[in-house]
A = this chain, B = another copy of it.
Amino acid sequence: MNTQERPRAVVLLSGGLDSCTTLAVAAHEGFEPCALTFSYGQRHVVEVAAARRVAALFAVQRHLVLNVDLRPIGGSALTADIPVPKAGPDAGTAAGIPVTYVPARNTIFLSLALGWAEVLGAAAIFIGVNAVDYSGYPDCRPEFIRAFQQLANLATKAAVEQSRPLTVRAPLIELTKARIILLGRELGVDYAATTSCYDPSPAGLACGACESCHLRRRGFEEARVPDPTVYAGRGGAGS
């Protein structure tokens, strides 16, 4: 297929396991993926470098890294001076939405993606949210994604004046982490290039104890795929 002919899609690319798999899905479906990454004052800013690695591996032509500092808003362990919970009930999904929730983050990221999608003439936005092996964040649920798509098609000049409707796609939303990993492997994702930890070491190594590490590690175990993650203090790959 000629590059010129592919419809464009904005893909939210954090550099984590889910968003990288989502990028692979968009490319596999025949879209030209235009990657959008946010430097938002996150504790785990190391993920921005991971996003650049993944974009390069997939030969993404357009990769926009936007600076949107959410620290003045605060309210989250990822952007404010609140500790990231480690192993134990606090790190799990059982006791409600954890403190790693960033207020309105997916709404903010999708809104900025919407602006770029309009300028690019993109037909879709892809987001790697997941409502199975996840932390219970409200803005990862199917009803949220549907409501955003409805809003998007009222919000822009492209949708209203030029009848160019936009689809918001969340292809992983109903998959387990293990299924996501198996899908990504089929589509050529190199998970060694990705990072999921919320609280990495100064050298960028995964802590192995936060909820995001926990979900990722369990995903590899259930998928029976070797975990390429390098955990801090373990001196090597594997877990």
Task: Find residues 127-147 in chain A having any chain B CB closer than 8 Å to their own CB.
Answer: 137-139, 141, 143-144, 147
Closest chain B CB from A19 CB (angstroms): 19
Size bin of chain A's contact surface: 35 or more
Report if A151-B154 is in contact (Cβ < 8 Å); known contacts: A75-B119, A112-B73: no
Please tell me if the beta carbons of A143 and B154 are within 8 angstroms of each other in the complex: yes
Asked whether any CB of chain B lies closer than 8 Å to the CB of A221, the reply is no
Q: How many Å lie between the Cα of A239 and that of B21 in the bound state?
A: 59
Closest chain B CB from A166 CB (angstroms): 10
Report if A114-B119 is in contact (Cβ < 8 Å); known contacts: A66-B72, A72-B66: no
Which residue among A96, A104, A112, A143 has the maximum number of chain B CB atoms within 10 Å of its CB? A104
Question: Which among B72, B108, B151, B161 is the interface contact of A144 at CB below 8 angstroms?
Answer: B151
Asked whether any CB of chain B lies closer than 8 Å to the CB of A187, the reply is no
Which residue on B lies nearest to A110, using beta carbons? B111
Please tell me how many copies of the chain the complex holds. Answer: 2
Q: How many Å lie between the Cα of A19 and that of B152 in the bound state?
A: 23
Asked whether any CB of chain B lies closer than 8 Å to the CB of A156, the reply is yes
Question: Which among B101, B115, B154 is the interface contact of A105 at CB below 8 angstroms?
Answer: B115
Cβ contacts under 8 Å, A143 to chain B:
154
Across the A-B interface, the 4 shortest Cβ-Cβ residue pairs: A104-B115, A75-B119, A103-B115, A103-B118
Supplied contacts A64-B72, A73-B115, A104-B112, 18 more A-B pairs, CB within 8 Å: A64-B73, A66-B73, A73-B116, A73-B119, A74-B119, A96-B161, A97-B160, A103-B116, A103-B118, A103-B157, A104-B111, A104-B114, A108-B115, A137-B157, A138-B154, A138-B157, A147-B154, A150-B151
Question: Which residues of chain A have a CB within 8 Å of any CB of chain B?
Answer: 64, 66-70, 72-75, 96-97, 101-108, 110-112, 114-116, 118-119, 137-139, 141, 143-144, 147-148, 150-152, 154-157, 159-161
